[in-house]
């Protein structure tokens, strides 16, 4: 029998990972449909005609798009498992604020490092990324309140939003021979990242660094070929 929940995605995508972790936390059984992206499947084009991007969550065939919207939907639509967003409205607002910061500011800066046209631009990009991490180290302090996760005792919304980027952070650290989330500069985030990656709800979806690096190299070659034409 067809499952009532489906996720259309691809393993290296941090955004797809968010949907999968949320479903895992809510103990929702679902079918994972690997999206080829080249060309984009008819199901993807039909389900997300505006952005044509993964992930798409299908619930009773009704599509929900945009990873953070999916995470909130999963939290609201399934009462199984623990809550992903905090119950207190102020705490929810703070987690939403930092999740939006990650997607709108931090991740674009992070992506800019790999795509920098020269060393100067790269250094500037790295500075922005590190400034962001320092803000997030402070945010961790305030959100976690001495507990292991941004969400407190358990993985929550902001853990998912940030944690899904960790695979790519590790790839960037290796490829550029740098430290980003370091024991020195951001010790709390460093310990959090270890905890997050080892968590039962996460570990099956966290891509292996070597495998992701292979994918990243292929992606960069494509990007450079496109940029030089």
Residues that bind a second copy (CB under 8 A): 50, 59, 62, 64-66, 69-70, 72-73, 76-77, 89-90, 92-94, 96-97, 100-101, 135
- In the complex, minimum distance from the CB of residue 42 to a second copy, in angstroms, rounded to a whole number: 20
- Nearest-angstrom CA–CA distance, 10 and 136: 27
- In the complex, minimum distance from the CB of residue 97 to a second copy, in angstroms, rounded to a whole number: 6
Q: What is the largest CA-CA distance in the chain?
A: 56
Query: Is 186:137 a contact under the CB 8 Å cutoff?
Result: yes
- In the complex, minimum distance from the CB of residue 200 to a second copy, in angstroms, rounded to a whole number: 25
Identity of the residue, 3 or 183, whose beta carbon is nearer to a second copy in the bound complex: 3
User: Tokens 């709390």 correspond to what residue?
Assistant: 188
- Helices 107-115, 209-227: crossing angle, 10 deg rounding: 70
- In the complex, minimum distance from the CB of residue 181 to a second copy, in angstroms, rounded to a whole number: 19
- In the complex, minimum distance from the CB of residue 81 to a second copy, in angstroms, rounded to a whole number: 15
Identity of the residue, 89 or 146, whose beta carbon is nearer to a second copy in the bound complex: 89
Identity of the residue, 78 or 215, whose beta carbon is nearer to a second copy in the bound complex: 78
Structure tokens at 123: 């250094």
- Nearest-angstrom CA–CA distance, 204 and 183: 25
- Return the SS3 of 152: strand
- In the complex, minimum distance from the CB of residue 89 to a second copy, in angstroms, rounded to a whole number: 4
Identity of the residue, 76 or 194, whose beta carbon is nearer to a second copy in the bound complex: 76
- Nearest-angstrom CA–CA distance, 2 and 4: 6
**E strand or H helix at 64:** strand 62-65
Q: Are strands 5-9 and 56-59 parallel, antiparallel or unpaired?
A: antiparallel
Identity of the residue, 17 or 64, whose beta carbon is nearer to a second copy in the bound complex: 64
- In the complex, minimum distance from the CB of residue 104 to a second copy, in angstroms, rounded to a whole number: 8
Identity of the residue, 93 or 218, whose beta carbon is nearer to a second copy in the bound complex: 93
Structure tokens at 57: 């969550």
Identity of the residue, 88 or 118, whose beta carbon is nearer to a second copy in the bound complex: 88
**E strand or H helix at 65:** strand 62-65
CA angle 222/122/120 to nearest 5° reads 125
């Amino acid at each position: 029998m067809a499952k009532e929940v489906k996720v259309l995605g691809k393993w290296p995508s941090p955004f797809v990972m968010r949907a999968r972790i949320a479903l895992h936390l809510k103990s929702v059984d679902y079918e994972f449909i690997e999206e080829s992206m080249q060309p984009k499947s008819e199901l993807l084009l039909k389900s997300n005609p505006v952005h044509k991007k993964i992930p798409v969550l299908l619930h009773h065939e009704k599509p929900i798009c945009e990873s953070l919207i999916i995470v909130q939907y999963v939290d609201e639509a399934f009462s199984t498992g623990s809550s992903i967003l905090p119950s207190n409205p102020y705490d929810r607002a703070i987690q939403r604020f930092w999740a939006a910061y990650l997607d709108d500011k931090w991740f674009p800066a992070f992506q800019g490092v790999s795509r920098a046209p020269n060393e100067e631009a790269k250094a500037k990009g790295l500075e922005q990324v590190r400034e962001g991490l320092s803000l997030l180290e402070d945010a961790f302090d305030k959100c976690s309140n001495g507990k292991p996760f941004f969400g407190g005792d358990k993985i929550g919304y902001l853990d998912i939003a940030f944690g899904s980027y960790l695979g790519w952070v590790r790839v960037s650290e290796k490829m550029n021979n740098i430290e980003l989330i370091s024991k020195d500069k951001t010790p709390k985030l460093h310990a959090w990242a270890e905890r997050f990656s080892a968590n039962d709800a996460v570990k099956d979806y966290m891509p292996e660094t070597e495998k992701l690096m292979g994918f990243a190299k292929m992606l960069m070659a494509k990007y450079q070929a496109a940029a030089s034409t």
